[in-house]
Amino acid sequence: MSQSRTLDPQTQALLDVIANSGAAPTHQLSPAQARTAYLARRASLQPSPEPVGRVTDLAISGSDGDIKLRLYRPINNTDSCLPALMYFHGGGFVVGDLESHDTLCRSLCNQAQCAVIAVDYRLAPEHAYPAAALDCLAATRWASAHADELNIDASRLAVGGDSAGGQLAAAVCLTCRDDANVNLAFQLLIYPITDALMRSDSIDRNGQGYLLGKRDLAYYYDHYFADMAVRRHPLASPLLAADLSGLPDALVLTAGVDPLHDEGLAYANALSQAGTKTQYVSFARQIHGFILMGQVIDEAHLAINTCAAALKRALHPENA
């Protein structure tokens, strides 16, 4: 099947531009080069950041130094006690930071009428598994414990993320399930990694020619996971968890032309089978990472709207 028949025309046009640019694929770059290239794409792919009510940069103590956070409050609602979303950025555990996902966090904050707390977790290869998961867990527990000073409602606390960030959100949910001090209300999983063993058919089906390739996935995983054995841990591969019951309601969003498509769908099905109320949406003609590409892909805005609407229903049940 040709890309022109499979992809949104805007997405196909973007892939054509990238192919003609001669840019090296991620797996041929050093981590430092990959980080620079990832951030450099923002100007041409992401829309202008929309205004919000307030942005506050914070830092908390982690197991290996400070963890930087960024707190967003929605426009025209800076003083109310609000529900909150802990947001974990994507980037294969190797790239990405508070800046790479700033526009997305702003949009979710305004549309869902919730505070957003973005987490600048440690990156690989400097910090291998489970460093990123531990940072996201520490930030979530800290936000819950400090809800009063943050002016957020700890009983309406969600977690979310895209790609590696979706995996981290799922891992935090699994870890906090038996934590009496953290009450998670919702999980937003955007094309999440759920099986780090790379066993799903879509990794081969969509593993070449669609921006994120099979070799790129292997590059990311080899940097973050010390060996194959740890990839079987639930914090690495949530799909392999023995028990997925008792988790917060979920929205799982996938892209149809994405190496991670099948494992995202499998995780949504597994959550549903375990009794978790789960919504599933697939953007059939889209590629991995498209939600950040709203300057050139219109469906990115629809995807954000879908995520924000689900968050708003979950976190503002009085208005549902």
- pLDDT tops 90 at residue 319: no
Contact 199, 125 (CB under 8 A): no
R_g of the chain, CA atoms, integer Å:
18
Q: How confident is the model at residue 2 (pLDDT cuts 50, 70, 90)?
A: very low
Averaged pLDDT, 96-101:
98
Averaged pLDDT, 16-32:
95
Of all residues in the chain, the percent with pLDDT exceeding 90 is: 94
Contact 131, 169 (CB under 8 A): no
pLDDT of residue 204: 97
Number of domains composing the chain: 1
Averaged pLDDT, 235-255:
98
Domain CATH number, residue 96: 3.40.50.1820
pLDDT of residue 226: 85
pLDDT of residue 1: 35
Distance of CA 210 to the CA centre of its chain: 19
Give catalytic status of residue 288 as yes or no: yes
Q: How confident is the model at residue 215 (pLDDT cuts 50, 70, 90)?
A: very high
Active-site residue, from 102, 195, 258, 262: 258
Tokens 């009428």: give the residue: 113
Active-site residue, from 107, 163, 200, 237: 163
Of all residues in the chain, the percent with pLDDT exceeding 70 is: 98
Averaged pLDDT, 98-127:
98
Strand order in the sheet with 115-120: 54-62, 65-73, 115-120, 82-88, 152-162, 184-190, 249-257, 278-287
32: containing domain: 3-319
Phi, psi of 270 (to 5 degrees): -65, -40
Q: How confident is the model at residue 233 (pLDDT cuts 50, 70, 90)?
A: very high
This prediction has a pTM of 0.97
- pLDDT tops 50 at residue 3: no
Averaged pLDDT, 90-118:
98
